[in-house]
Amino acid sequence: MASPVLLYACTGIEPEPWIDAFRLHMPELEVRLWPEAGNPADIDYVLAWKQPPGLLQALPNLKAIFSLGAGVEHVLSDHTLPAGIPLVRMVDPGLTTGMVEFVLLCVLRYHRRLPEHEINQKAHRWQALTPKLPQDQRVGIMGLGELGAACAQSLVALGFDVASWSRTPKLVAGVKSFHGPAGLAPFLNRTDMVVCLLPLTADTENILNAETLAALPQGAYVINAARGRHLVEEDLLAALDSGHIAGATLDVFRHEPLPPDHPFWSHPKVTVIPHCAALTQPKTAARTIADNIRRYQSGQPLLYVVDPGRGY
Ligand code: NAP
Ligand code: GLV
């Protein structure tokens, strides 16, 4: 059998670590770097991140598209995407670990009142601040998928009062499950810190808006580690300025890089992180892709295939 060929079509991401990782986990895989694809008919698989529009439809023997990210809207937004070719989202232990670290970091920072200590330090003010007990800190995770579930479990292990909101009901030990449109308001009403880990779809775009932010209790915190288009930025600014929302940590933005004159950069209640809450780690992710290619080659169904109708 001829060696399988994977085309690396990831804009802005260094290919070398991927080449090394594939060499280790699937030495028989030939990796070509776009735009030097050679004969388009040779390409079996594509690893895509913001791939050039139209590229995928030009590959007549494509068997599967692997998204370099967990979010796949960057692939689905290509209107020339060939129908019927499976799109596989990224599930990577390294990415999951990164997101768990990030969410714990943000929740603990607010829980232990670090922003207030930073203000006090600037004023040379010595003031011990009592944190809440973790069981009195109500954290809410929007999206209880691969990443949300791992974050929720780690927060439960630290003793936080954790709830989730998802499309379908969930059973995760220690996590109160809310679901569907009817579950959103009760979920928000009981959430002191909301963490967005939803995929970006027609149903979730702009989900953090004036109405949903108002449904959070006074003094709540917002952590968005999903996509910028989940959040109506002006609505968050208004809620921060009115004092209803106490602070926000934002890793993702409607326009990336965040424009230099954007009010988030200098807002005293906003922490800006440049879309690196969790990054796909070639060392661990290449292994998942290699295992999935082997599944395909041996006639088993691919794992983590996106439902194009749902958009995730
Ligand atoms: P996933 O496993 O596909 O999980 C998605 C979750 O969202 C599921 O629990 C799903 O509910 C829920 N959901 C989807 N549509 C919904 C709706 N309309 N209402 C309520 N719940 C809905 O995704 P994942 O791997 O955890 O990744 C989540 C997202 O994180 C990605 O799509 C990406 O945008 C973002 N991300 C960001 C970074 C970063 O660095 N900032 C890194 C990685 C990923 P059901 O289970 O009931 O279907
Ligand atoms: C990063 O944003 C991802 O979707 O993996």
Q: Walk me through the domains of the chain, giving residue ranges and CATH numbers.
A: 5-92+280-297 (3.40.50.720), 93-272 (3.40.50.720)
Mean pLDDT across 163-188:
98
Q: Is the pLDDT of residue 149 over 80?
A: yes
Mean pLDDT of the region 265-290: 98
**Ligand 2 pocket residue status of 196, Cβ below 6 Å:** no
Which entry of 275, 287, 294, 310 is annotated as an active-site residue? 275
Ligand 2 within 6 A of 282 CB?
A: no
Asked if residue 286 has its Cβ within 6 Å of ligand 2, the reply is no
* Cα 167 to middle of ligand 1, angstroms: 10
Atom of ligand 2 nearest to the CA of 71: 4
Question: Strand order in 64-67's β-sheet?
Answer: 30-33, 5-10, 45-49, 64-67, 87-88
Q: Averaged over 300-306, what is the pLDDT?
A: 98
Look up 113 and say whether it is catalytic.
no
Rounded CA separation 244/25 (Å): 50
Question: Ligand 2 in contact with 69 (CB < 6 A)?
Answer: yes
Q: How confident is the model at residue 33 (pLDDT cuts 50, 70, 90)?
A: very high
Say yes or no to pLDDT of 1 above 80. Answer: no
Residues 176-220 pLDDT 10s: 999 999 999 999 999 999 999 999 999 999 999 999 999 999 999
Determine the distance separating the centroid of ligand 1 and the alpha carbon of 149, expressed in angstroms: 10
Q: Is residue 62 predicted with pLDDT exceeding 90?
A: yes
Annotation marks residue 167 as catalytic: no
Question: How much of the chain exceeds pLDDT 90, in percent?
Answer: 98
Kindly state the average pLDDT of the residues 145-167: 98
State the average pLDDT for the chain: 97
Cα separations in angstroms, 19 against 31, 139, 266, 301 = 7, 39, 39, 25
Q: Residue 2 has what pLDDT?
A: 83
Q: Nearest residue CA, atom 5 of ligand 2?
A: 69
pLDDT tier, 30 (very low <50, low <70, confident <90, very high otherwise): very high
CA nearest neighbour of 108 among 155, 146, 147? 155
Please report the pLDDT score of residue 137 as a whole number. 98
Residue-wise pLDDT tens digits, 76-114: 999 999 999 999 999 999 999 999 999 999 999 999 999
The answer to whether the CB of 71 is under 6 A from ligand 2 is yes
pLDDT value, residue 7 = 98
Please state the pTM of the whole predicted model: 0.98
Check: CB of residue 188 under 8 Å from CB of residue 68.
no
User: Could you identify the atom of ligand 1 that is nearest to the CA of residue 166?
Assistant: 21
Mutate to test the pocket of ligand 2, among 75, 204, 279 (most ligand atoms within 8 A of CB): 279
**Which listed residue (89, 227, 230, 287) is catalytic?**
227
Is the pLDDT at 274 greater than 80, yes or no?
A: yes
Considering every ligand atom shown, identify the ligand nearest to the alpha carbon of residue 310 and give its number: 1
Q: Are 284 and 93 in contact (CB under 8 A)?
A: yes
